[in-house]
């Protein structure tokens, strides 16, 4: 088993390059199934979720070659199966995207129900609602979802809840459908837009991605023979913004899209940090004093991202005064607060809200990450805590962050990955 050993406190200073977005890549790679051809993806994050996604695709007959550390050549000319291996999909939450993609390409799909996770219930009723509205028949039994459709007919779908996954999955299922599909109450996250941009690059006709109404005019086929670069990871960039503030450091975050972080920037300015937007793809974030208290309410984009909630929790744990976080997306995203309390924080979490009584400093302790963003938060906490912190359960963190300890070390953190 591996752990991260971090000796703090350290002020994080320097430059960090942001990698391609996990939540875009894990959708775009399945989306290549809509192409009967070859395409190249660049700026692909080299993380375990992406590697698992590629392994599942290869089991379906897709040829995937890593051309470099961040680019892959995908050949989807020979699909040999429409059944995603259950033992693999149960380890890869976003495997549900294979349903929409295989339905479009082959008219049928069987995928294991997404594994449980530490954020609470992860329903997919809206995905199923969309597939059935397009004319598919969907059954859920023995832990698997099976979908099939002789043909998919464009229609109008109103999503009952704003859902990134359902928006993308319905998009995948309607790109090659007969006629036009409208998705109302659609998610607007940058990775939703990135999937639409990828599909349009390959010949789809999708308009309105990034707004709450997306219109997809079905086309006969997508062409390959094109290269697409995955959007920079908004959440990784936000993680380092919050690390700069928590450590009273000064970090220049390169290769990001500053517009995707406007909500985080606004909140950091509100609590007394400094943020400078350098020509739209670089952010400098610095803080010289203890942050002021704040009230945070997570919300779908462009609101404060739930995937930055734990990292913000570390900042509020050492802020001046009493702060509150209301988590509106997931039922159980405060498990990390128990770990921070082991480090001397004073946080009371109950249901979907948590109260942070700011303390002067955190002290080192052995802590366990419960999900990937909680893991990133505990690394930030270890960086600012006095003494030697050990962070366990790195498999969560490695799902979504590439070489995270190297990036923190390059910013001055005393951090090592150790095998126990
Ligand atoms: C995506 O999950 C992300 N994962 C999550 O990031 C992120 O937290 C979430 O969007 C919200 O931004 C990927 O993109 C792979 P949702 P997703 O469907 O698509 C409810 C990370 O750390 N809902 O937008 O599964 C659901 O319960 C991960 O990178 C339904 O009720 O999330 C939740 O309350 C963690 N029925 C809300 O909608 C459905 O059919 C938003 O979920 C689908 C969702």
DSSP code per residue over 54-77: HHHHHHTT-EEEEEETTEEEEE-S
Mean per-residue pLDDT pooled into runs of 10, the chain (420 residues): 97 98 98 97 97 97 98 98 92 94 98 77 93 98 95 98 98 98 98 98 98 98 95 98 98 98 98 96 97 98 98 98 97 96 98 97 97 97 98 95 97 96
- Distances, alpha carbon 253 to alpha carbons 37, 270, 275, 401, 411, in Å: 36, 20, 11, 15, 11
Nearest to 174 by CA among 209, 210, 140, 211: 209
Phi, psi for 187 (deg, rounded to 5): -75, 150
Nearest atom (ligand 1) to Cα of 165: 19
Q: Contact, 361 vs 385, CB < 8 A?
A: yes
pTM of the predicted protein model: 0.98
Nearest atom (ligand 1) to Cα of 330: 34
**Which two three-digit tokens encode residue 361?**
């400093």
* Residue carrying structure tokens 């059954």: 139
Nearest atom (ligand 1) to Cα of 128: 40
- Distances, alpha carbon 194 to alpha carbons 10, 47, 279, 388, in Å: 36, 18, 21, 40
Angle between helices 262-270 and 234-246 (to 10 degrees): 10
| Ligand 1 pocket member 94 (CB < 6 A) | yes
377 Cα to the center of ligand 1, angstroms: 19
| Ligand 1 pocket member 130 (CB < 6 A) | no
Active site residues: 117
Phi, psi for 264 (deg, rounded to 5): -65, -45
**CA separation for the pair 397, 374 (Å, rounded):** 8
Ligand 1 mutation pick, 100, 161, 236, 308, max ligand atoms within 8 A of CB: 161
240 Cα to the center of ligand 1, angstroms: 22
247 Cβ contact partners less than 8 Å away, ≥ 6 residues apart: 9, 10, 11, 12, 380, 383, 384
Which pLDDT score, from 0 to 100, does residue 115 have?
64
Which pLDDT score, from 0 to 100, does residue 122 have?
83
| Ligand 1 pocket member 239 (CB < 6 A) | no
Degrees (nearest 5) of the Cα angle 304, 43, 90? Answer: 70
314 Cα to the center of ligand 1, angstroms: 22
256 Cα to the center of ligand 1, angstroms: 22
Q: Contact, 370 vs 118, CB < 8 A?
A: yes
142 Cβ contact partners less than 8 Å away, ≥ 6 residues apart: none
| Ligand 1 pocket member 376 (CB < 6 A) | no
324 Cα to the center of ligand 1, angstroms: 22
**Alpha-helical segments (H) within 117-225:** 125-133, 164-174, 190-201
């Amino acid at each position: 088993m591996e752990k991260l050993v971090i000796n703090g406190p350290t002020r994080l200073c320097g430059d960090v390059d942001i990698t391609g977005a996990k939540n875009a890549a894990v959708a775009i790679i399945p989306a290549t199934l809509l192409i009967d051809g070859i395409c190249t993806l660049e700026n692909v994050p080299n993380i375990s979720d992406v590697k698992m996604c590629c392994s599942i695709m290869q089991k379906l007959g897709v040829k995937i070659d890593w051309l470099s550390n961040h680019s892959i050549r995908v050949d989807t000319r020979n699909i040999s199966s429409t059944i995603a291996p259950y033992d693999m999909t149960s380890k890869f939450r976003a495997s549900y995207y294979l349903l929409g993609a295989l339905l479009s390409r082959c008219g049928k799909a069987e995928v294991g129900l997404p594994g449980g996770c530490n954020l609470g219930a992860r329903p997919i009723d809206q995905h199923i609602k969309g597939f059935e509205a397009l004319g598919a028949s969907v059954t859920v039994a023995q832990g698997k979802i099976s979908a099939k459709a002789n043909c998919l007919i464009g229609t109008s779908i109103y999503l009952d809840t704003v859902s990134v996954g359902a928006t993308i999955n319905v998009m995948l299922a309607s790109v090659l459908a007969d006629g036009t599909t409208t998705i109302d109450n659609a998610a607007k996250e940058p990775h939703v837009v990135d999937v639409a941009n990828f599909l349009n690059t390959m010949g789809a006709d999708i308009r309105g991605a990034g707004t709450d109404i997306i219109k997809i005019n079905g086309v006969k086929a997508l062409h390959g023979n094109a290269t697409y670069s995955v959007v920079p990871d908004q959440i990784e960039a936000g993680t380092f913004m919050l690390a700069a503030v928590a450590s009273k450091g000064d970090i220049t975050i390169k290769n990001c899209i500053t517009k995707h972080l406007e909500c985080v920037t606004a909140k950091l300015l509100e609590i007394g940090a400094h943020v400078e937007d350098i020509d739209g793809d670089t952010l400098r974030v610095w803080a010289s004093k203890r942050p002021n208290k704040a009230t945070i309410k997570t919300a779908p984009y462009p609101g404060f991202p739930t995937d930055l909630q734990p990292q913000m929790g570390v900042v509020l744990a050492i802020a001046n005064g009493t702060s509150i976080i209301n988590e509106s997306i997931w039922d159980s995203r405060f498990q990390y607060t128990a770990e921070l309390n082991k480090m001397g924080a004073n946080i009371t979490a109950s249901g979907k809200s948590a109260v942070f009584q700011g303390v002067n400093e955190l002290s080192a302790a052995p802590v366990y990450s419960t999900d990937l963003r909680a893991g990133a938060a505990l690394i930030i906490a270890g960086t600012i805590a006095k003494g030697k912190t050990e962070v366990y359960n790195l498999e969560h963190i490695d799902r979504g962050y590439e070489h995270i300890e190297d990036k923190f070390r390059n910013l001055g953190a005393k951090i090592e990955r150790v095998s126990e």
